[in-house]
Structure 1
Amino acid sequence: MKQLIFLILLTNQGTWAQSEYQAGVLSSALTENAHAVVRRHETIFTVKSVGEANLSVHTVVTVLDEQGDDQAKKVVGYDKLSRVTNLEGALYDAAGKLIKKLKKADIDDSSTYSDYNLFDDQRMKVASFPKQPSYPYTVEFLVETTERNLMFYPTWVPQDEEHLAVEQAAYTVNMPPALALRYKEMNLPTPGVSSSLPDGGKTYSWKINNRPALEFEPISPPAREQLPLVYTAPAAFDVQDYKGQITSWKDVSRFYHSLNDGRDRIPEDLRQRVLDLTKNETTTLGKVRKVYAYLQDNTRYISVQLGIGGWQTIEADKVADSKYGDCKALTNYAKAMLKAVGVTAYPALVRAGDKEPDILVDFPSFQFNHVILCVPNGRDTLFLECTSGHGPAGYMSDFTGNRHVLLVLPDGGRLIKTPVYSPTDNRQQRQIVVNLTEQGDASANVRTIYSGLQQDDYASAIHRLNHDDQRSWLLKRIHVPAFELTSFGYKEQIEPMPVVVETLDMTARRWATVSGTRLFLPLNLMSALSPVAPLTQPRRTAIELGANYDFADSDTITYQLPKGYEPEYKLEPQIIESTFGRYTAQLAIKGDHITYVRQITMHGGRFPAAAYADLIDFRKKVAKADRVQMVFIKRN
C-alpha cells in the first residue's frame, strides 16, 4: 500500500511538473538575455512571537545555459538561533520530467570556519545537483527554517542578479496580533497589500510577474536601486532574552548599548601602562595616536560569531589577556583604554565593504556588519578602524569611508558620516627617468608616491605578501609591453593621510619604434587611461562613480634620447575639461632631453544618465591624448 501511494504521488508530481515546468512554454520576453528563469519563487515568513518565526522558501528555476548552472545549488546558512527543519529538491529535464530527487548524500553540512573565524557557530547546508549534459533543465528547492533571532526579518529579492528573469514570485508575511511589521518597498511595479487574519493578526503580501532579465549598465547605481525588493523589519523583538524595539535609529543604538554596557573595564596594570604611554601627550589627538599604536602592536583580529555574540562584545579585560578580538571586542578594548587616559569615545555601527552600498538612512534596522570607534574632538572628529594592524589613526579607506554610521550613545544614538576622500587626498605622483637606445629599447627608473585610497592596495600587499608574491602581484599591475622588472621596493609613510612610496627599475624592449631615420616615441609610459564602454542603446540609469573615481594623478617623465635626434614637429599642450575631470599634458625639449608632464583630476559622484555621452567623449579624448607619440628625426 505504501509503495502504491508513493507511485501515485510521484506520478501526480511528474504530471504537474511536465505541465508547469516545460522549458518550451517560456516566452521569448523571459528568455531573452537570460541565463535562467525563475518559474516560481514563494517566500512565506510567519512570525509566531517576538522571539520565533518560521520561514519557507520554495523556488523553481529553469536553467537555460552553462552560465546559469549556479541555480542548481542551494546554500542554507544556520546557527544555534536558526534551525533547518526541511530541505528538499528535485531536478527536471526540458520536458518537465523528473530526473532526480535530492538525497541526503547530495547535501553537504559544514562549518563556515575560516582562519579568521576563531569562534563561529555558523554552519551551512549545501545542496547541489550534478552538472547536466544538456540545456535547458529545471531545479526545484524547498527550504524551511525556524528562526529565533528576530532582530532580522527577511529581505525579499526574487530577482537577485542580472541575466535572471522572473515568471512569478510572491512574498507573504504573517504577523500575530499586537506585533507590527515595518517594511520598505523598492522598484516594485505595484505596492503590497495587507489583510486581517481571523486571530487579529495581519498578513502582508507582494507579487511580481513576468520580469525580463536585467543587464546592469556600466558604472550604474547599486543593484538594490534597480532590482525589485522588499526590506522587512520588526517593531519589537526578543533574542536570547534580550528585548528590543525599533522605531528609530535611537532604538537601534540603545539596544546595542544595552548589550555592551559595562564591558569596557580593563586590568589595573594595563590602565597604568596606557597612562605611562600617554603621560607626555597634552592633546586628544596625541593620546589617541599612542593608544591606537599600542592596540595595533599588541592585538590581532579574529571573528567571533556565537549567538547574540554577533552583536555583543567580549569583555575588555578578556581581550587584554588573550590579545585578540573581533571588531566589536577590539573597538570596545580601544574605547576602554582611551577612557583610562581621559578620552571619551563611542562605538559606531557601519555597513563596511569597498563594494557595499551605504545603509538605507530612512529605514532604521540592523543593516550593519561592522563597528568602528568614534572619538569626538571638536571639529576634528576621529574614526578608528580597530581591526587594522597598520595605517594611521583616523584613516577609513573605502572600506568604511563616506558612509553613514550609527553613533552608539547611552541615551540613544544618531547617524553621522565618516570622512570623504577628495582627489587631493587620493594622489599618484610619479617621476620617471628613461634612457632610450638607438634601437628604441628603454631602461627606466620609476618613483611613485601613492596616497589615500590609491595607496590601499599597495599597503595591503606590503603587509600580506612576501617579496616574491609582491613581485608577482606587481607584474600584473604594470601595463608596459615587453618589459622586465629588474628591481622594486616599497616604503610606508605613516601620516594622517597614509602614503606608500614605490621604486622600480625596469627595461622595455622596443618602447620606441625606429623606422629609417625616424624614431616614434610614445610619451605616456605607465598611466594611460582607457575609454569607457560606448552606448549601444539609450542609457537608462544614472552614472555612479564611486570613491575610487576621486583621484589626482601626475606623471613627469624625462626621456634621454639617443644622440643625434631632434623633433620633427612641435607638440602643442593638451587641455581637456569636463564635468568629470580635467586633463593636461605638455612637453618641454632641451637638447637631447625631453620632459613630458601629464596631469589628470577625476571627480566621483552620481551624474544623470544623459551625461554618459559627455563621459564617453571626455574619456575618449583623454585616451587619445594618452596614446600620443612624438616623432624624432636623426640629424645627418
Structure 2
Amino acid sequence: MAENKRVVSAFEENKNIVIRERKERYEFVKGDEKNPVWVKQSFTTFYRCDEYRGSVPVVEFYDDYSRVDEVKAYVNGDRMKVKVEHDYYSVEGLFYSDARVCGFMLPLEKKGTESRVEMQKTVLDPRYFTSIFFQEEFFQEQKEVTLVVPRWMKIEIREMNFAKAGVKTSKTYDEKTNADIYTYSAKGIKASKSEPHAPGPSYLYPHLLVMTHAAETPSGKITYFSNVNDLYAWYRSLVKEIGNDPATVKATALNITKDKKEDIDKIKAVYTWVQENIRYIAFEDGIAGFRPAKAQDVLEKKYGDCKGMANLTKEMLAALGLDARLCWIGTRHIAYDYSTPTLSVDNHMICAVNLKGKQYFLDATETYIGFDQYAERIQGRQVLIENGDQFTLSKVPLRTFEQNRQVEKRTLEIDGNNLTGKVDHQYTGECTEYILTQAHQIKKDKLEEALEQFLSKENRSYAISSVKTSDLHDWSKDMTIHYDLQHKDAVNNFGDELYVELDFRKEMEDAGIDTTLREHDLWLSFKRQLVQETALTIPAGYKVKSLPPAVNIDQPKYAFKAAYEQQADKIVYRKEITIKDTHLEKKDFPTWNNDIKKLRQTYLEQITLTKK
C-alpha cells in the first residue's frame, strides 16, 4: 500500500512572506466577432517580507483562450523592469497543445519592505471563466474580489465553502454602466496548503463558482451553459470536429482481436492493448483544450491524455461494430456533479461500452487495472455519456475492498539462523495496479527482476529464487507470483531459546498522521484487503514458550487484525488489514493514530521457542 509516513507529512508554511493586500477585479465586456464576450481581469498584489529578504515567484497560466496583457512590478514603490518569461507548459519534454506560463521572480529587498505586482489578463471566452478561489500560497491580511456583470450578461454565482470563511458580501447596481457589481472581502486568509492525499481544493477552500448562462450581444443571444444540455451540446460540437480516420484505427483493432471470437474478449483485448501501448500524459486542470486528439494521431504517437486515450478506445471498439461511447467524468478530486453546468464539473474522460444489456466503463489511463474493475478516483462518480445529440447520465459502479485484495501465503521452516520455504502471492484490482506500477518504476531490463526487487523490499537478506508468475500482461485476471525464499538471519538463537519474527513486511507501520502539521482530511489511495498467512514448522526438539498477543481492531472505516495460533507442529500467523472507506476525516485521526500504534507494537513482538 502506498500510505507511509511520507504520505501524511505536510510542508512547513512560509511565514516570512505575506500578502498585505490583494485585489481582484473581473468584468464582462464586449469582445470581437470571433469571441463576442470577454472577461477582463486585473490583479493587484502587495507582498511583504517580515523576517528576512527574499523573493516571490510570480506565475500566471494562460492558453489559446486567454492572454496576459500587461505585467507591472514595483519594489519599494519604484517601478522595476520586469523580464517576464513566456513558455509552453510541458511535461517530460512533451508540450501541451495550448497551455502556456508566464512568470518572473519578484524581489523583496529587506525585512519590512513591500513589493507590488499589477497584472492585466483577458479570458477570450467566458466558458473558461469558471471559479475564483480566495486562498493564495501566502497568508493574506486582506483580500477583495469584485465582479462587474452588465445586465446583458446572464450568470450565476455560487458561494462555495463560505460557512466558516468570514467572507463579507455586497451587491450594488451601477446605473451608468447598467451593471451589477458583486464585492467579496475577507481578512486573515490562511495560505493554501498542499498536502499529499488531501481532498481537492473545491472541497477545502472558499471560492466562487461562476456559471455563464447567456449573453445578449448586438448580433443576437449567445447561449453558454444554462444547464447540462447546453454543456453536453458544446462537448458534442467539439467531438464532431475531431476528424478521426476509422480505416486506420480499424486495421489495428482487427489485428488486436484476430484471435478473439466473443465480443467480451474483443473488448478486453482492445482495452488492454491501449493500456499497455499508449503512454498516458496527464494534462493539468484548467487546460482549454477540451477536444480529444484524433484517434489515428494517438495511435501513431503512442501517447495521449485521457481524452485522446478514451477517443482511441472508443473508435477501435466502434470499428469492430461494438456500441462504444465517450464519457465525461469528474474524479473524486472535484466536489461537483452535473447539476452544476460549468467546465469545472469534470476533469477526465473515459469510454463506455454497452454489451448484452450491461454497461462497462473503460479508463485506459489506469495502466494495470483489469476489465470491469474501477479505480477509487472514479468509483461512484457521475458520468455524462454521449448518445448522439442527446446524452445519458450514469454512475461508475462502487466497489468494496473485495475488488482489491492482496494475499500472501508463506510455508516456512527454520534452517539454522535462516527461514526457508515457499511463498505464494495473489493480487487483484488496484493491488495489481500498484505492484506493477512500482515494479515498472524500478529500472530493470526484465519485469520479473523488478518484481523480485520490489517483493524483497531491496533487502539482500530476503533472498527470492525460482520465481514463477501468471501472465503479467493480462491484469484482467488475478496476478499470481510463486517463489522459493531464504530469509537470512531471521532467527536469533540465545542458549536454549529461538526468537523468530514472522512479519517481514509490516505494512502501514509508518501510517501515523502528524496532527500537529496536518490541516486537511486524508484520502487513502484505495479500498483494499491485505491478507498475510505464514505457517512455520516448529523444529524438532523445540516447543512454543510464548506467542505474541492477538490484535483485533475493527473500526467502521478500517480493520487491523493479527493473531498467532499453534496447530500441531506448526505456528500459524494470520494478519488482515482492511480499508473499508478511504476518507479519514480529521476527527478520525486520534483513533487512527492509536490503532496504528497498536499495529506497530504487534510488529515488534516475536515468537519464542525453547528446547524441550
> Which TM-score tier does this pair reach, normalised by the shorter chain?
0.7 to 0.9
Alignment match of 1:577 (pick from 546, 551, 554)? 554
Report the RMSD for the aligned CA atoms in angstroms. Answer: 4.4
**1:59 and 2:63 matched:** no
Alignment match of 2:134 (pick from 153, 158, 165)? 158
- 2:385 aligns with 407
The 5 Å alignment of 1:330-369 reads 330-352=309-331, 356-367=333-344, 368-369=346-347
Structure 2 counterpart of 1:208, which letter? A
- 1:554 aligns with 531
The 5 Å alignment of 1:224-235 reads 224-235=202-213
| Counterparts of 1:557 and 1:222, CA distance in 2 | 40
| Counterparts of 1:116 and 1:413, CA distance in 2 | 37
Q: In the superposition, relative to structure 1, how do residues 453 and 270 fare at CA in structure 2: closer, same or farther (>3 Å)?
A: closer
- 1:13 aligns with none
1:304 touches 1:325 (CA, 8 Å); kept in 2?
no
Q: In the superposition, relative to structure 1, how do residues 165 and 131 fare at CA in structure 2: closer, same or farther (>3 Å)?
A: closer
| Counterparts of 2:63 and 2:541, CA distance in 1 | 75
Shift of 1:607: 6.5
Q: In the superposition, relative to structure 1, how do residues 379 and 143 fare at CA in structure 2: closer, same or farther (>3 Å)?
A: farther
SS of structure 1 residue aligned to 2:403: coil
TM-score (norm 2): 0.79
Shift of 1:497: 4.7
Structure 2 counterpart of 1:185, which letter? E
Shift of 1:381: 1.6
Shift of 1:571: 5.4
Structure 2 counterpart of 1:56, which letter? S
- 1:600 aligns with 577
- 1:26 aligns with none
The 5 Å alignment of 1:616-635 reads 616-635=593-612
Q: Which runs of 5+ in 2 are unaligned?
A: 1-11, 31-35
**1:515 and 2:494 matched:** yes
**1:427 and 2:405 matched:** yes
1:152 touches 1:233 (CA, 8 Å); kept in 2?
no
- 1:380 aligns with 358
Identity %: 19
Q: In the superposition, relative to structure 1, how do residues 311 and 244 fare at CA in structure 2: closer, same or farther (>3 Å)?
A: farther
**1:177 and 2:151 matched:** yes
The 5 Å alignment of 1:129-140 reads 129=106, 138-140=114-116
Q: Which runs of 5+ in 1 are unaligned?
A: 1-30, 92-96
The 5 Å alignment of 1:242-391 reads 245-261=224-240, 263=242, 266-268=245-247, 271=250, 274=253, 284-293=263-272, 295=274, 310-316=289-295, 325-352=304-331, 356-367=333-344, 368-377=346-355, 380-387=358-365, 391=369
Q: Using CA pairs below 8 Å that are at least 6 residues apart, which structure has the higher relative contact order?
A: 2
Give per-residue Cα distances to partners, 1:107-164, cap 9 Å, x unaligned: 33322234473562322222114697x7676543222212213221153223245xx4
2:329 touches 2:348 (CA, 8 Å); kept in 1?
yes
Q: As a proportion of its length, which structure holds more strand?
A: 2
- 2:506 aligns with 527
| Counterparts of 2:256 and 2:433, CA distance in 1 | 29
Structure 2 counterpart of 1:171, which letter? V
SS of structure 1 residue aligned to 2:322: coil
Structure 2 counterpart of 1:452, which letter? G
1:434 touches 1:443 (CA, 8 Å); kept in 2?
yes
- 1:113 aligns with 90
Shift of 1:540: 9.3
Q: As a proportion of its length, which structure holds more helix?
A: 1
1:339 touches 1:345 (CA, 8 Å); kept in 2?
yes
Shift of 1:196: 1.9
SS of structure 2 residue aligned to 1:364: coil
| Counterparts of 1:445 and 1:160, CA distance in 2 | 54
- 2:394 aligns with 416
Alignment match of 1:47 (pick from 28, 33, 38)? 28
Q: In the superposition, relative to structure 1, how do residues 414 and 169 fare at CA in structure 2: closer, same or farther (>3 Å)?
A: farther
| Counterparts of 2:183 and 2:477, CA distance in 1 | 50
1:36 touches 1:63 (CA, 8 Å); kept in 2?
yes
TM-score (norm 1): 0.77
| Counterparts of 2:476 and 2:389, CA distance in 1 | 33
Give per-residue Cα distances to partners, 1:459-481, cap 9 Å, x unaligned: 22455554179778986886698
